Amino acid sequence: MSDTQTLDRAAQAMALVDYRDTANLKQLPTRNGFGEGLLEAAQANRNVIGICADLSESTRFEALKNALPEQYLEIGVAEQMLVAMAGGLAAVGKIPWIASYAMFNPGRSWEQVRTIMALNQTNVKIAGAHAGVSVGPDGATHQAIEDIAIMRVIPHMFVVVPCDSVQTKKATLALSQTFGPTYLRFAREKSAIVTSEATPFEIGKAQIFREGADVAIVACGILVYNALIAADKLSRERGIECRVVNNHTVKPMDEAAIIDAAKTCGAVVTVEEHQVQGGMGSRVAEILSAQHPTPIEFIGVNDRFGQSGDPVELIEYYGMGSAAIEAAALRAHGRKRT
Amino acid sequence: MQTLTPQRLRELDLKATDVREGIIRALLAAGSGHSAGSLDMADIFTALYGHVMRHRPEEPNWPQRDRLLLSCGHIAPVRYAAMANFGYFPVEELLTLRKFGTRLQGHPERVSLPSVETTSGPLGEGLAQGVGMAQAAKMDGADFRVYVVTSDAEHQCGLHWEAMMTAAKFKLDNLLCIIDRNFIQIDGSTEEIMPLEPLADKYRAFNWEVFECDGHDIAAFVATVERAHAVKGKPQVIIAKTIPGKGVSYMEGDYTWHGKPPNAEQAKTALAELAATRERILAHV
Ligand SMILES: Cc1ncc(C[n+]2csc(CCOP(=O)(O)OP(=O)(O)O)c2C)c(N)n1
Ligand SMILES: [Mg+2]
């Protein structure tokens, strides 16, 4: 966008890039940030290692594999083995990052995650690649849209869903330095980079990316960008001002930030590339219904499976595009108690 | 099974070329997908659909049909191309591969397309389901056979070995596992990523009857299937030696073709090579 309008103060405080400037907006897959962050973490601490299950390119393990082969293990197509072996390595002091498609790890390896990582409280880090329907043509078998639910239900887990590749790198570094079983989720396709190097990141601390007092849009992952676009349009076209919260840490969730958003705005929309049932938005609903009942609209996949298709086409079809978010914000706004 | 006459063999060799063409066209149209494994299983899928299996394309859910499970779902294009070429649906439908709304999902789905028997793509799950189907046939006294096509790298999945044990325990001689032994997986050679050899001995140790054959020699494959069918009281496996990308020279033997489609130029070359192959087969009277 060429207008001279600057971003609002919240966005400036977060050092966001001008996400409205579509022509100059950089796009990179969030998984790239994982590859970069992992290499840096492994360079800083030789106990940080990567274990790969035959997907070194897809998961962006390649940088580590090439630069520090002694901190990299390849075990073939064996995702349960990934978790169990990493549990052993962690028990002896390593900090293993294990990565596959989210569908298979933690999808296939769930009970190992629960027992060996969480009940055991071992310092194993899962990187779940290719999450969401935006995986595209591979179809439903490869589109993990239940992974947040099955991870957030396990005690002790950290569950983090960063909004862009720059933030994914920061999350990878921060999680590498934080003890505890961890699930970091990212996507396959290129997506808009809305944060900058200067944007802060702290595990468990939600971020206000846009200020507004009419509706709170609480989003995570690559759809944060769609939420910002929807908020911008609602402001320009309807004079409705949305607070946009980048709720990157699904567990432990920043309850204070969620309650503050609900109190300030009186209506909430949650946005995630995941099943509505059991996802990030469900956690928001759990928090608010107990502590500050507020009308909520949920953006996500509604109890269906994905399918083959173009990523953007699928995001739209399953109702997660910016227009769907706008409509949900209007519905939430209409439900506000006056 | 009928006897495989030289005439019939030639027809099948031609069909395998049609199947490879279908794979190339579908992958080109899709703009993504798995070339190497799809091409290297074209001869075996042609033999299965064209000669070995009892099935009715016009009645895909015929209860007496032999069951064919494709465990390594990423090579769906070969199954789709074989199905199209043996009358399950028009060859043109192959061009919908991986597109929104298609029955030909990126990885095969049971609910979308009758007779694919199960949804696959997540590796290592086909044999276990085949064990269930073969056991059900035993329980019902049904005489259909169960064929499970697996990739080699699927043998790195634990469940596959659980299935091997179970098949032997229940003496499932109506179960035939066929391995696409192409020695590749995504990150490189299977023997570097996670060694599988001695694979035949491992199956023998699990009480399976083991056969090996050239996966590009339809006559040899059919003869091997006949020997496998004669086995009583044990599940059988055919380790089919294949060349990844078989039939398209620039893909042959190159693992980097595991998960990518040809571009327009590459597809043109591939189709020209396949046309030449067809001419060679026709010239051989
Ligand atoms: C459980 C599971 N883990 C990982 C993957 C991703 N993946 C797809 S194909 C493949 C391995 C490829 O090797 P192989 O199965 O031998 O197939 P080929 O390359 O020979 O076609 C992997 C790891 C998957 N589909 N399922
Ligand atoms: Mg292989």
Q: Specify whether A79 is catalytic.
A: yes
Q: How many interface pairs between A and B have CB atoms less than 8 angstroms apart?
A: 95
Our count of domains for chain A comes to 2
| Beta-carbon contacts of residue A42 (< 8 Å; ≥ 6 apart) | A48, A49, A50, A64, A68, A71
In this prediction, the residues of chain A whose per-residue pLDDT falls under 50 are: 1-4
Residue B1 lies in a domain: no
> What is the Å distance from ligand 1's center to B110 Cα?
19
Residue A1 lies in a domain: no
List ligand 1's pocket residues with C-beta within 6 A: A 54-55, 77, 79, 100, 104, 108; B 34, 36-37, 72, 74-75, 121-124, 151-154, 182, 184-186, 258
Per the DSSP assignment, residues forming a β-bridge with A99 are A52, A127
Interface of A with B in 106-165 (CB under 8 A): 107-108, 136-142
| Beta-carbon contacts of residue A236 (< 8 Å; ≥ 6 apart) | none
**What pLDDT was estimated at residue B242?**
98
Which of B156, B187, B190, B199 is the mutation pick for testing A, counting most A CBs within 10 A? Answer: B187
Q: CB burial class (10 A; 0-12, 13-18, 19+) of residue B265?
A: exposed
Residue of the nearest CA to atom 19 in ligand 1?
B185
Q: Do B100 and A142 touch (CB under 8 A)?
A: no
Q: Do A142 and B121 touch (CB under 8 A)?
A: yes
Tell me: do A157 and A286 sit in the same domain: no
Residue A304 lies in a domain: yes
CA neighbor of A100 nearest in space, from A138, A52, A133? A52
Question: What is the rounded CA–CA span in Å between residue A233 and residue A246?
Answer: 18
Tell me: do A39 and A180 sit in the same domain: yes
Question: What is the rounded CA–CA span in Å between residue B198 and residue B150?
Answer: 17
Number of the ligand 1 atom closest to the C-alpha atom of B244: 20
Residue A235 lies in a domain: yes
Partners of B98 on chain A (C-beta within 8 Å) are 137-139, 308
**What pLDDT was estimated at residue A338?**
66
Q: Helix A280-291 and helix A255-265: axis angle, to 10°?
A: 70
Question: What is the rounded CA–CA span in Å between residue A86 and residue A323?
Answer: 42
Residue B268 lies in a domain: yes
CA neighbor of B221 nearest in space, from B251, B185, B279, B180? B180
DSSP secondary structure string for all residues of B180-240: EE--EETTEEHHHHS---SHHHHHHHTT-EEEEEETT-HHHHHHHHHHHHT--SS-EEEEE
Which of A52, A59, A77 is the mutation pick for testing B, counting most B CBs within 10 A? Answer: A77
> What is the Å distance from ligand 2's center to A331 Cα?
51
Tell me: do A70 and A183 sit in the same domain: yes
Q: Which of A192, A217, A249 is the last residue of a domain?
A: A192
- A243-285 pLDDT, tens per residue? 999 999 999 999 999 999 999 999 999 999 999 999 999 999 9
**What pLDDT was estimated at residue B285?**
67
Partners of A100 on chain B (C-beta within 8 Å) are none
Residue A4 lies in a domain: no
CATH number at residue B194: 3.40.50.970
- A55-68 pLDDT, tens per residue? 999 999 999 999 99
A108 vs B33, B101, B122: nearest CB:
B122
**What pLDDT was estimated at residue A213?**
98
**Distance, in angstroms, between B25 CA and closest chain A CA?**
16
Q: Which of A144, A169, A192 is the last residue of a domain?
A: A192
Q: What is the ipTM of this complex?
A: 0.95
Our count of domains for chain B comes to 1
Using only the alpha carbons of chain B, give its radius of gyration.
Answer: 18
- Domain of B76? 6-283
- B83-109 pLDDT, tens per residue? 999 999 999 999 999 999 999 999 999
Q: Do A308 and B99 touch (CB under 8 A)?
A: yes
A54 vs B102, B106, B153: nearest CB:
B153
Tell me: do A178 and A63 sit in the same domain: yes
Tell me: do A148 and A242 sit in the same domain: no
Catalytic residue among A36, A79, A146, A255: A79
Tell me: do A124 and A234 sit in the same domain: no
Residue A87 lies in a domain: yes
> Which uninterrupted H or E stretch holds A180?
none
Question: What is the rounded CA–CA span in Å between residue B254 and residue A4?
Answer: 53
> What is the Å distance from ligand 1's center to B121 Cα?
8
Per the DSSP assignment, residues forming a β-bridge with B181 are B241
Tell me: do A209 and A170 sit in the same domain: no
Q: Do B107 and A139 touch (CB under 8 A)?
A: yes
A80 vs B106, B153, B158: nearest CB:
B158
**What pLDDT was estimated at residue B284?**
84
End-to-end C-alpha distance for chain A, whole angstroms: 35
CATH number at residue A292: 3.40.50.920
Tell me: do A144 and A45 sit in the same domain: yes
| Beta-carbon contacts of residue A198 (< 8 Å; ≥ 6 apart) | A15
Ligand number, closest to the Cα atom of B36: 1
> What is the Å distance from ligand 2's center to A107 Cα?
23
Name the interface residues of B facing A (CB cutoff 8 Å): 30-33, 73, 98-102, 105-107, 109, 119-124, 153-154, 156-158, 185-187, 190, 193-194
Tell me: do A208 and A253 sit in the same domain: yes
Within a 10 A sphere around the Cβ of B161, how many other Cβ atoms?
16
Residue A3 lies in a domain: no
- Domain of A145? 27-192
**What pLDDT was estimated at residue B1?**
86
Asked if residues A232 and A20 have their Cβ atoms less than 8 Å apart, the reply is yes
**What pLDDT was estimated at residue A6?**
81
**Per-position pLDDT tens, chain B of length 285:** 889 999 999 999 999 999 999 999 999 999 999 999 999 999 999 999 999 999 999 999 999 999 999 999 999 999 999 999 999 999 999 999 999 999 999 999 999 998 999 999 999 999 999 999 999 999 999 999 999 999 999 999 999 999 999 999 999 999 999 999 999 999 999 999 999 999 999 999 999 999 999 999 999 999 999 999 999 999 999 999 999 999 999 999 999 999 999 999 999 999 999 999 999 999 986
B100 vs A57, A78, A308: nearest CB:
A308
B153 to chain A: closest CA residue = A77
Residue A2 lies in a domain: no
Tell me: do A59 and A188 sit in the same domain: yes
Partners of B123 on chain A (C-beta within 8 Å) are 77
- B34-85 pLDDT, tens per residue? 999 999 999 999 999 999 999 999 999 999 999 999 999 999 999 999 999 9
Tell me: do A33 and A156 sit in the same domain: yes
Tell me: do A180 and A220 sit in the same domain: no
Q: Do B193 and A74 touch (CB under 8 A)?
A: yes
Which of A72, A82, A141, A304 is the mutation pick for testing B, counting most B CBs within 10 A? Answer: A141
Interface of A with B in 173-232 (CB under 8 A): none
Strands (E), chain A: 27-29, 48-52, 72-74, 95-101, 125-129, 158-160, 182-185, 190-192, 207-210, 215-219, 242-246, 249-251, 268-275, 296-301
